Structure 1
Amino acid sequence: MKCSQTRAVQTHIITYPHLNFHKTLFGGQLMAWLDETAGISAVRMSRAAIVTASVDHLDFLAPLKDRHSVCIDAYVSGVGIRSMEIFAKVIGEDLLSGERYLAGTCFMTFVVPKGAALPDKIEPETKEEQFICSGYEARKLARQEKRQESVDLANNIDLEMPWN
């Protein structure tokens, strides 16, 4: 399957009620939109019910200002046995001047239920897709190491409430 076949694009105008105290897009709102858009890409790849496993890396590169638009462009950038990585770029636009800027990048992992099958590979076509997909194996290895750290952390968390 080609990256372009998994592509999902979502565009929003930034206005109240999505603003923070700085009159820029609230980061939590952007994260919700990223999850939604990336989830569509994951379902296009799997044609199965998916679950967000992790937000692996999210970089906020520039603030998205009031009355600008935000465009989220997501596609599958790597495939495992039951998991897939989705890359998303966040593009801001000053709607009055037409100036566009890269506001963020994100890698997320989604999983399919046991028994669901994923295509064996993803085919990048553009220069950007080739660059992003070429780093999949290294990012996958880093995710696996981070996952073990998270398991170790969870095994050492006290669930008792201090006020009890």
Structure 2
Amino acid sequence: MKEAYKHVKDSEVIMTEMVLPNDTNTLNNLMGGKLMHWMDVVAAISAQRHSNSVVVTASVDNISFKNPIALGNVVTLKAQVTRAFNTSMEVYIEVFAEDIPANKKYSSHKAFFTFVAVDEEGLPVKVPELKPISEQEMEFYKGALRRRQLRLVLAKRMNPQDATELKSLFDLDKIGQKE
């Protein structure tokens, strides 16, 4: 029997890779597709830990390639479930690059992926609730509903009028009342 709820720490995953010549583009930087592959793997493991099920990628939010990661750098990917819905889970991934000989480490990428837990036939299955504890976990948890509604509206799977969390962000009358 599956648990009724889990904590964020139950889904935490840290994965480390080294950028090798076969992983690079002609500028000797990590190829974006390779990084996205690693992000998908670490996020899927996190979602599997939360759901105790096989998972499939449902969506990937924006990934900005602002900082290149060079050949020979060590890449650390950290993933954790931020919120669980009925059969889906949002996973936050943060990527760090490290030039060990130069003693430099920096955050290079962040993204949210969504996964759906499935059974042996590929049909969606219910996942445990997530119980956030820390302040940061609560912030990610609260924001997850807005991000989910935005994903659904953009995918034309939700009417914008039904996106209550998004509407509240842009309702000028409510904003004036909060002051």
- Deviation, 1:58, is 1.6
Question: What do the CA deviations read for 1:36-92 (whole angstroms, capped 9, x no partner)?
Answer: 100000000100111111112222231111111110000001111111100000000
Matched length:
148
Specify the alignment match of 1:156 in structure 2. Answer: none
SS in 2 for 1:39: helix
The equivalent residue for 2:175 is none
Contact 1:84 1:110 (8 Å CA) reproduced:
yes
Is 1:4 equivalent to 2:9 in the alignment?
A: yes
| Percent identity of equivalent pairs | 28
Aligned counterpart in structure 2 of residue 49 of structure 1, from 50, 54, 73: 54
Query: In the superposition, relative to structure 1, how do residues 97 and 124 fare at CA in structure 2: closer, same or farther (>3 Å)?
Result: farther
What is the CA–CA distance in structure 2 between the aligned matches of 1:75 and 1:120, rounded to whole Å? 14
SS in 2 for 1:105: strand
Check conservation: 1:124, 1:133, Cα contact below 8 A: no
- Write the distance in 1 (CA, Å) between the matches of 2:59 and 2:148: 12
Residue of structure 2 aligned with 1:120, choices 104, 108, 129: 129
- TM-score where L is the length of structure 2: 0.77
**Residues 90-119 of structure 1: per-residue CA shift (max 9 Å, x gap):** 000111122111110011010012462211
- Of 80, 84, 88, the match for 2:85: 80
Quick one: structure 1 residues 130 and 94, their matched pair in 2 at CA, closer, same or farther if it must change by over 3 Å? farther
Matches of residues 100-111 of structure 1 in structure 2 within 5 Å? 100-111=105-116
Structure 1 runs (4+) greater than 4 angstroms displaced: none
Query: 1:126-150 CA distances to partner (integer Å, 9 max, x unpaired)?
Result: x54333333111101101101217x
Q: Is the 8 A contact 1:93 1:101 kept in 2?
A: yes
Corresponding position: 1:138 with 2:143: no
RMSD: 1.6
Superposition TM-score, scaled by structure 1 size: 0.84
Higher normalized helix content (fraction of residues): 2
Q: How far, CA to CA, are the matches of 2:147 and 2:26 in structure 1?
A: 34
Unaligned 5+ runs, structure 2: 1-5, 158-179
Q: Is the CA contact (8 Å cut-off) linking 2:95 and 2:109 kept in structure 1?
A: yes
